[in-house]
Homo-oligomer: A and B are copies of this chain.
């Protein structure tokens, strides 16, 4: 399939694991969480239970570190049958605070790509999760000036994207989304008639995984962000 990029005027970038490392810190925190609870259950069971709690709470808390922290507290109480010590619960709160305060680690080639695209396209950041958290990361990243603005969506479903494009007066045909998640950054866009480039990150949260190979008109996969410069010039 030949994709044509001539009519693109607006480029949306996912942020977490597209511009900077994110999922890795969740994995590391899950490891530490499992270590704190190892007297009560197997590592595997702890992992499963935390994931189950996160998914159960997703409608209530949405995406982001604060909801993750609350789910860690909840599943620590459940996994231990209320046997976990109060001091350990305090340590779990601190694990979350450390995540929030973590320095931003840009992925390779990000600045080079933004440098080349700025002025030619309107660049926006399109992320889900916590607004304050995402604004803070953008500020710490030093990338603020490349972007027209940041949009934080409560979810990244077709309806969220469609509402956003409507409100920004952007025609789907002029829009392309760049991101690491097929489920959140690619397929919903393709389904509403926009385009997308998939840039996989080495770690994907289970909830973001799409089973089996996904072939779809309207998007392509590249192996690293700088490759998008072949198409967007």
Chain A residues engaging chain B, CB cutoff 8 angstroms:
60-62, 66-67, 69-70, 73-74, 77, 80, 82-87, 89-90, 93, 96-97, 100-101, 130-133, 135, 148-149, 152-155, 163, 167
> Which residue of B66, B80, B90, B152 is within 8 Å of A152 (Cβ)?
B152
Check if B60 sits within 8 Å of A89, measured CB to CB: no
Q: 4 new A-B pairs (CB below 8 Å) besides A62-B132, A66-B70, A86-B86?
A: A60-B100, A70-B93, A73-B73, A80-B86
Considering the chains assembled together, what is the distance between the CA atoms of A154 and B135 in angstroms?
8
Report chain B residues within 8 Å CB of A86.
77, 80, 82-84, 86, 89
Is B73 touching A89 in the complex (CB atoms < 8 A)? yes
The residue of chain B having its C-beta at the shortest distance from the C-beta of A81 within the complex is B86
How many copies, total? 2
With a cutoff of 8 Å between Cβ atoms, the chain B residues found around residue A70 in the complex are: 66, 69-70, 93, 96
Collect the chain B residues with CB atoms within 8 Å of residue A66's CB.
61, 66-67, 70
Task: Give the residues in chain B near A153, CB-CB below 8 Å.
Answer: 131
Compute how far the CA of A101 lies from the CA of B60 in the bound complex, rounded to whole angstroms.
Answer: 8
In the complex, which residues of chain B have a beta carbon less than 8 angstroms from the beta carbon of A132?
61-62, 154-155
CB distance from A75 to the nearest CB of B (A): 11
Report the separation of the CA atoms of residues A202 and B39 in the bound assembly, to the nearest whole angstrom: 50
Q: Tell whether, in the assembled complex, residue B60 and residue A74 are in contact, meaning their CB atoms are under 8 Å apart.
A: no
3 shortest interchain CB distances as A-B pairs: A62-B132, A82-B86, A66-B66
